[in-house]
Structure 1
Amino acid sequence: MKLRLLPASLLLACTVTQAADANPVPKALEEQVVRLVTLLKDGFATGYPEATRVQTLNTSRENQVTLAVFIVEGFYKGNNYRQYLAAFKPDATEAGAAHYTLLGVIHIGGGGWRAIQALDATRVSGPTDRQVLIDIPVMENRVGDAVNFPSKPGVVHLSLSGDAPVRLVEKD
């Protein structure tokens, strides 16, 4: 039984590695994700930086939002993980170096629930200019699915709204 799962595990690991390498994480954004992992983990969990995926969306003619999906694994010394989505405002310092300001972060997936396997977010028109709606394709676990192998396609609807503080909220 364990030998049959090995090829699937290797395929998943190769796919995640390829996806992460196809769109490299900027150093300044990687540092922000490391800070978030430190805040979100327990005393046993660690980040899985190789699985971090990023995407930048235009939210208006002048503004953008950069999304980062990242994994924290090994909570309570277990074989488990949580997937998080963070939204950042890309900017630059006075010296011209890239900087990413955190807008919000939410728990978006995990074993036995759902997973963002490829970050392919789309901006959806909102009722106001101050509200940004984002749809992200996910895979959800069905009854009978292995914990880390969801098989049902779905979509997560998110709202990024407000002035200060900005809130990242999942919508029904």
Structure 2
Amino acid sequence: MMTDIFAVIADHTRRAILRELRAGDKAVGELVEALDASQPTVSKHLKVLRDAGLVTTRAQGQKRYYALRLEPLAEVGGWLTSLWTTAAPAPEEASAPSAGVAVVPSSAPVATPAVAGAGIEPLAPSPAGVAAASGTRPQQIQRTVERTVERAAKGAAEIIANLPKWRRKEPGRQQG
């Protein structure tokens, strides 16, 4: 199920729909206007999001309203956080940070211009008890989770985009 969610959120339009739905339920027409996309495009993406369990729908008269479901995203976020908390080396143990990944002591303020410049926003509100001061450990974890989800989504999109190419290369399969 989690791999399906990564594949679903790999698409920029679907992530934009999820961001729009953070503010509350919206009809298809409202999403079309907010995203400046065609109605068939928005409807297609909403179907994918609904099939993945990321949105729910309700009918009100002739309109269909969509609402964000945070539970599946919380599952992904929890999994990524568990990876971070169990596998991340302490700053003094890190020999050389990977490109694009900053290892910062938990007491130092953290600046993440790459994340802010990429327009990455958290999909769910911060958990209760997270301090507002920049650079706290929970905020560092949240930023790391956001970057990791973005990378995973891009990787999933690349894999999905290349599936037709890989299929043509199967042994014993004639190419036409």
Q: TM-score with structure 2 length normalisation?
A: 0.26
Larger helix proportion of the pair: 2
Q: Which has the greater radius of gyration?
A: 2
Answer 1 or 2: higher relative contact order, Cα 8 Å, separation at least 6.
2
